[in-house]
């Protein structure tokens, strides 16, 4: 195919190592940064084809390995509304990344064109960005070659957070339509979110400063610029772990994943009672909050706590606005603490559903709800308003100043939320706005329910593909009889719950357990892990 004439030539600059194999998984391609060059080149080709398959809409490419070690890197595609790549294309990505020669690569590209009925005369448009990893510039150059090979119109956003790139993609594809999302620039991003934040908090008592652990990643400089753009005493930040220059520091003993996994403060922060803390991950699409009480005991406010805070606030605002039949629902994964699920069902009386791990699964479930709040326990999440909900807001007829105020606040909340993907900065502003409006300390927020003790273990197995699950990954269907063994163990512990699932990002299986006491929880976790070997 003439369209692929330059592919072989440019591909020769980014050869694939013999025998290397790649898989487009939950988080795109992710592995050691210095083994990814051929893959990122090919993602450039794929992004161009994806854009052509969408009649020239802009597709995003983000080069990042998020919370993983600095030596790792990764790459993923962003679809036109700023959402994760449509799942049916993941197999195309994997096949193209694994083509062994230039001839095979061209044949694989032609097969995608054929399968998807792509008109290759359409002008492809792609925007891209990367995080602060040292392998980023080289991979970016490989991406640019891939885009050039197919003549894509390509624009770099430089070093930005993953959710910022998702935002730009959505803005570019909705410009001039009724769904216009904002200015596709960094300044536009900051103006949109800080503007909505300030509309919500205006006139409330000022909060104490917020301490932010930026994981020594791109979130550091970006949140500093966000606070400067807000230029308001409502957003006073103290930045920690914001060194993006010294090699080896990214995500090292800090960041949202470290804090959530270890249930302790990151390096470099000495927690003081009464202060409020949060951690971003390396590409700033996750956030967790925490604080210490007067005995200096550590308390984590994870994705479940954020989700219940936000769902409660939205539910109360909808009621105060007097809007009927506008249901707020919550999407969780199996990792959600059992106490949070009971709290949502029994106290908040809101519908809750479980989705498989990975943002795309939660996002799709949330899209089915009028107002869908979704968070993974690890701190990745956002809120979606579907078109029926937006219509209801638009046609709401307030009967009192209080109802009018509630409707105004619902609009401001919608503007404050990055609907394309979970976003540490937008989620931070959301949490801050709610805490300011309620006049709450982290301890008051935390008081809604008490987490059950939980334990997450990683078990390296011979072949993780033997582990198959159903029921949003809560039940194993293979290997045979393993689920029965787990059920027998779980039944021994009050409020016990456990599940085993294959990781989507590592060659291992994960074991999660919770129970009424720490001792029971640990015993359950280790005995379930024992059945997996
Ligand atoms: C990826 C997912 C994250 C999920 C994690 C689970 C996205 C953008 N990221 O990092 O949401 O929690 O995978 O990893 O979807 P695991 O399958 O190895 O447990
Ligand atoms: Zn991340």
Please say whether the beta carbons of 109 and 53 come within 8 A.
Answer: no
CA dist 474 and 424 (Å) reads: 27
Ligand 2 center to 64 CA (angstroms): 8
Query: Of 26, 285, 334, 335, which is best to mutate to test ligand 1, by the most ligand atoms within 8 angstroms of its C-beta?
Result: 26
* Single residue among 125, 159, 193 that ends a domain in this structure: 159
Residues with CB under 6 A from ligand 1: 26-27, 357-359, 376, 378, 380, 503-506, 510
What are the tens digits of pLDDT across the range 95-107? Answer: 999 999 999 999 9
Q: Is 66 an annotated catalytic residue? A: yes
- Looking only at the bridges linking them, the beta strands covering 276-280 and 237-240 are unpaired
pLDDT, residue 1, reads 62
Which two structure tokens, joined as six digits, stand for 298? Answer: 């550590």
User: Is pLDDT above 90 for 505?
Assistant: no
CATH classification of the domain holding 13: 3.40.120.10
8 lies in some domain? yes
Does the predicted interface ipTM exceed a cut of 0.95?
A: yes
How much helix, strand and coil, in percent to the nearest 5, is found in the chain? Answer: 45, 20, 40
User: Is pLDDT above 90 for 319?
Assistant: yes
User: Is pLDDT above 70 for 126?
Assistant: yes
CA dist 72 and 67 (Å) reads: 10
Please say whether the beta carbons of 187 and 229 come within 8 A.
Answer: yes
Which two structure tokens, joined as six digits, stand for 200? Answer: 């919500």
CATH classification of the domain holding 519: 3.30.310.50
Count of alpha carbons within 13 angstroms of residue 40, beta-carbon side: 32
Q: What's the whole-number mean pLDDT along residues 430-444?
A: 98
83 lies in some domain? yes
Closest CA to 37 of 20, 25, 52, 49: 20
| Atom of ligand 1 at shortest range from CA of 66 | 10
Ligand 1 center to 376 CA (angstroms): 9
Give the number of other Cβ atoms within 10 Å of residue 300's Cβ.
21
Residues 6+ apart with CB under 8 A from 52: 118, 119, 120, 122, 124
CA dist 227 and 220 (Å) reads: 11
What are the tens digits of pLDDT across the range 465-494? Answer: 999 999 999 999 999 999 999 999 999 999
394 lies in some domain? no
pLDDT band for 348, please (50, 70, 90 cuts): very high
Domain ranges, residue 497:
454-532
Please say whether the beta carbons of 153 and 17 come within 8 A.
Answer: no
Residues 6+ apart with CB under 8 A from 14: 37, 38, 40, 41, 142, 145, 146
Residue given tokens 């993974």 in the structure block: 376
316 lies in some domain? no
Protein residue whose Cα sits closest to atom 12 of ligand 1: 358
* Single residue among 159, 175, 200 that ends a domain in this structure: 159
* Single residue among 111, 132, 159 that ends a domain in this structure: 159
> What global pTM score does this model have?
0.97
Residues, the chain: 533
User: Is pLDDT above 70 for 436?
Assistant: yes
pLDDT, residue 504, reads 87
62 lies in some domain? yes
520 lies in some domain? yes
Please say whether the beta carbons of 360 and 384 come within 8 A.
Answer: no
The tally of domains found in the chain comes to 2
Closest CA to 65 of 505, 507, 510, 362: 505
94 lies in some domain? yes
Angle, vertex CA 322, rays to CA 318 and CA 328, nearest 5: 25
Query: Of 62, 282, 358, which is best to mutate to test ligand 1, by the most ligand atoms within 8 angstroms of its C-beta?
Result: 358
- Looking only at the bridges linking them, the beta strands covering 72-78 and 29-32 are antiparallel
Q: What's the whole-number mean pLDDT along residues 351-356?
A: 97
254 lies in some domain? no
Ligand 2 center to 283 CA (angstroms): 5
Angle, vertex CA 503, rays to CA 499 and CA 504, nearest 5: 130
């Amino acid at each position: 195919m003439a369209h692929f004439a330059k592919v072989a030539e440019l591909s020769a600059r980014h050869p694939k190592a013999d025998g290397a194999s790649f898989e487009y998984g939950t988080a795109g391609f992710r592995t050691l940064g210095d083994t990814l060059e051929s893959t990122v080149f090919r993602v450039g080709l794929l992004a161009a084809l994806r854009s052509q398959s969408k009649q020239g809409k802009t597709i995003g490419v983000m080069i990042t390995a998020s919370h993983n070690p600095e030596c790792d890197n990764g790459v993923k595609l962003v679809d036109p509304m700023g959402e994760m790549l449509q799942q049916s294309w993941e197999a195309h990505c994997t096949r193209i990344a694994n083509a062994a020669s230039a001839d095979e690569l061209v044949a694989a590209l032609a097969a995608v064109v054929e399968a998807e009925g792509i008109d290759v005369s359409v002008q492809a448009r792609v925007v891209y960005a990367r995080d602060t990893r040292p392998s980023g510039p080289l991979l970016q150059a490989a991406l640019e070659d891939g885009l050039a090979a197919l003549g894509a119109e390509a624009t770099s956003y430089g070093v930005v957070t993953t959710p910022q790139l998702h935002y730009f993609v959505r803005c570019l594809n909705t410009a001039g339509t009724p769904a216009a999302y904002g200015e596709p620039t960094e300044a536009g991003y900051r103006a949109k979110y800080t503007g909505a934040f300030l509309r919500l908090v205006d006139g409330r008592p000022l909060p104490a400063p917020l301490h932010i652990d930026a994981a020594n990643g791109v979130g550091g400089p970006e949140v500093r610029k966000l606070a400067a753009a807000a230029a308001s005493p409502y957003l006073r930040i103290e930045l920690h772990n914001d060194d993006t220059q010294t090699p080896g520091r990214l995500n090292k003993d800090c960041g949202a994943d470290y804090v959530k996994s270890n249930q302790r403060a990151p390096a470099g922060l000495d927690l003081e009672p009464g202060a409020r803390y949060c951690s971003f991950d390396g590409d700033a699409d996750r956030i967790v909050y925490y604080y210490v009480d007067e005995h200096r005991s550590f308390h984590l406010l994870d994705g479940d706590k954020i989700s219940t805070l936000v769902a409660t606030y939205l539910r109360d605002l909808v009621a105060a606005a007097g809007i009927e039949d506008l249901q707020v629902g919550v999407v969780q994964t199996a990792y959600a603490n059992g106490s949070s699920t009971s709290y949502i069902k029994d106290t908040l009386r809101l519908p809750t559903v479980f989705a498989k791990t990975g943002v795309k699964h939660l996002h799709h479930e949330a899209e089915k709800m009028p107002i869908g709040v979704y968070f993974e326990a690890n701190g990745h999440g956002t809120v979606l308003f579907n078109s029926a909900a937006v219509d209801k807001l638009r046609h709401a007829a307030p009967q009192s100043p209080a109802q009018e105020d509630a409707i105004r606040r619902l609009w401001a909340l919608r503007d404050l939320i990055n609907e394309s993907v979970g976003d540490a900065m937008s989620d931070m502003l959301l949490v801050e706005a709610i805490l300011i409006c309620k006049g709450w300390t982290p301890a008051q927020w935390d008081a809604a329910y008490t987490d059950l003790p939980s334990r997450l273990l990683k078990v390296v197995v011979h072949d993780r593909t033997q582990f198959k699950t159903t029921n949003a990954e809560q039940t194993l269907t293979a290997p045979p009889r393993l689920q029965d063994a787990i059920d027998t163990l779980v039944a021994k512990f009050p409020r016990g719950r456990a599940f085993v699932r294959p990781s989507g990002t590592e060659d291992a299986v994960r074991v999660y357990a919770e129970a009424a006491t720490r001792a029971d929880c640990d015993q359950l976790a280790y005995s379930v892990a024992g059945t997996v070997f």
